Amino acid sequence: MTTDANFTGDPSPLVSVLGLIKSPDLMIGSTEVPLFEEEDMCTPLNISCACHTDYSSYEGLERVFLGLVAVPVIMFGILANVTSMRIFTHRIMSGSSINWYLAVLSASDTLILFSAFFVLSLPRFGEYLTWWRANYISYSVTPCMYGLMMTAQTCSVFMTVGVSVHRYIGVCHPYKSVEWLPKKRVTTFIIGLLTFSVIFNTTRFFEVHISNVCYRENIDYYMPSLQPTALRMNDLYRQIFFGWAYTIVMYVVPFTLLIALNSMVLSAVRRSRRMHMVSQCGAESEEFSKKAERKERQTSIMLISIVLLFIACNTLAFVCNIMENMGTEGAIYQTLVTFNNLLVIINASCNICVYMLFSGKYRMLLRYYLFCDWSRQGELLVSSVLN
C-alpha cells in the first residue's frame, strides 16, 4: 500500500504484458508503505482522495533495473525501432507484404518504449537523482501514457501473431498463398488488428486519473496524486476484463497460435532443408530456384527467431499473471514483477539484432543509412547491389 502520488487498487497490473507495468495492486510506485492512521488522511483506494501528504519511495531493485538499466535500453530501442520502420518502408523492402507487419511491429514497440519511459523509468530515475520534476512529469502524463502503452502492447502482440499466420500460409500452403495473401487482403488484416487493439483498450484511458496536486512534506515538493477511477474499481469490470477477457486475449490465444503456427513452419523448414541437401547435384537451371528457396528458409528462420525472443521475454509475464489471478503476493512476486518489466522493455528493443543477423537486405540498408549519403546516387547504388 502507498500514500504517495502512486495508487493502489485491485491485484491486476496497471499494465500487464504482456505487461510493462506488472505492478501488483495497481501500483506506480513502491509497495509496502503503511497508511497513515489519521482519519482525515487519504487512503490509496479512495477514488475521491483530496491529497496525500507523504511521498513513498520505490524499492531499490526497481530504481536500479527500471531506472538506471532500463533508460539506456529504452533509448537504444527507440532509435533501433525508428530505424527499422524506415528500412521496412523503403521501396526495396516494402515490396514484400510480410515487411509491412514488421514495420507496424517496430512502430508499436516504439510506442511501448516511449510510454514505458514516462510511466516506468522516469519516476524511478528521477527519484534516484532526487530530481522530483521528473516524477511530477511522469505522474502528470501517466493517465494518457497508460492507455497508450496498453494499446501499443496489444498491437505488438497481434502483429507478432499476424506475421506468424502470414508465414505459415506462405510456407505450409505455398500454392494457395497468392490467392489467400493478396496485398489488399494483407492491408485489411493489418488495419483490422490495429482497430481491434484500439477498441479492446479504449477503457484503459478511463482507468486512472489525477485527483489532486499535493504537497509532499518529506521531499518538500508538490506532486500529482494518481488514483484509480470508479470504472477501474468496479467489481464486474475487473472480473470480466481482467479475470477473463485480458487473460484470454493477451495470453491464451497469442501463445497458443504462436507455438502451433511456428512449430509447423519450423517442421516445414527442416523438410525443405533435407530436400535441398538431397538435390545438391541438380542442373544449373535450378540454381536460381535453389537460391530463392534458401532465401525463403532464411526469412522463415528470422521470423521464428522473433517469435522465440517474444515468448522468452514474455513467459515470465504469463507466470506473473497466473500468480495475480491466484492472489499471490509477497517479496518473490515483487521481484518477478520487476524482472518481467525489464524483459518486456528488452523485447521491444532488440528485434533489430534478429533483423541484422538474418536479413542481408536489412544490413545493406542499415549501412546505407548509417554511413552513406542520402543522395539519389547513393540510393541507386543500394538498389543495384540488392537487385
- Residue pLDDT tens, the chain, 387 long: 333 334 433 323 334 333 333 332 333 333 333 333 333 445 544 445 556 677 888 888 899 999 999 999 999 999 999 999 999 998 889 888 999 999 999 999 999 999 999 999 999 999 999 999 999 999 999 999 999 999 999 999 999 999 999 999 988 888 888 888 899 999 999 999 999 999 999 999 999 998 888 888 889 899 998 889 999 989 899 888 877 888 899 989 999 999 999 999 988 877 766 665 555 545 444 555 566 667 777 888 898 999 999 999 988 888 887 887 777 777 888 889 999 999 999 999 999 999 999 888 898 888 888 876 555 555 555 555 555
Q: Do the domain assignments include residue 383?
A: no
Rounded CA gap, 115 and 199, in Å?
A: 19
DSSP labels for 302-314? HHHHHHHHHHHHH
Residue 175, C-alpha cell as written in the block: 500454392
**The dihedral of CA 366, 372, 376, 381: what is its sign?**
negative
Terminal Cα-to-Cα distance of the chain (whole angstroms): 61
How many whole angstroms separate alpha carbon 258 and alpha carbon 158? Answer: 10
pLDDT given at position 185: 93
Tell me if 247 is assigned to some domain.
yes
In the block, cell 484511458 appears at 205
Per the structure block, which three cell numbers stand in for 293? 528457396
Q: Are 30 and 8 in contact (CB under 8 A)?
A: no
CB 223 within 8 A of CB 139: yes
Task: Using alpha carbons, select from 326, 186, 194, 314 the residue that is nearest to residue 250.
Answer: 314
Residue with cell 523509468: 121
Q: How many Å is the maximal CA-CA distance in the chain?
A: 88
Domain membership of residue 121 as a residue range: 57-277+289-374
Rounded Cα–Cα distance for residues 218 and 118 (Å): 23
At 268, list the grid cell.
516445414
Q: 164, 160, 159: which is closest to 190 by C-alpha?
A: 159
- The cell numbers describing 239, all together, are 472480473
* Sign of the alpha-carbon torsion through 7, 125, 140, 106: negative
Q: Is residue 387 in some structural domain? A: no
Residue 213's H or E segment, with its range, is: strand 208-216
Please report the sign of the dihedral spanned by the C-alpha atoms of residue 370, residue 371, residue 375, residue 378: negative
256: β partners: none
Q: What's residue 212's pLDDT?
A: 85
Strands 221-228 and 19-21: unpaired
pLDDT given for residue 11 in this prediction: 28
* C-beta neighbour count of 328 within 10 angstroms: 14
- Rg, Å, the chain Cα set: 24
Q: What is the CATH number of the domain that holds 140?
A: 1.20.1070.10
Q: Which amino acid is at 183?
A: K
Asked if residue 271 is part of any domain, the answer here is yes
* 166-202 CB burial, b ≥16 within 10 A, e <16: bbbbbbeeeeebeeebeeeebeebbeebbeebeebbe
Identify which of 324, 335, 345 has the alpha carbon closest to the alpha carbon of residue 9. 324
Query: Residue 226: what pLDDT?
Result: 87
In a domain, 94, yes or no: yes
Classify residue 3: in a domain, yes or no. Answer: no
Q: Domains in the chain: how many in total?
A: 1
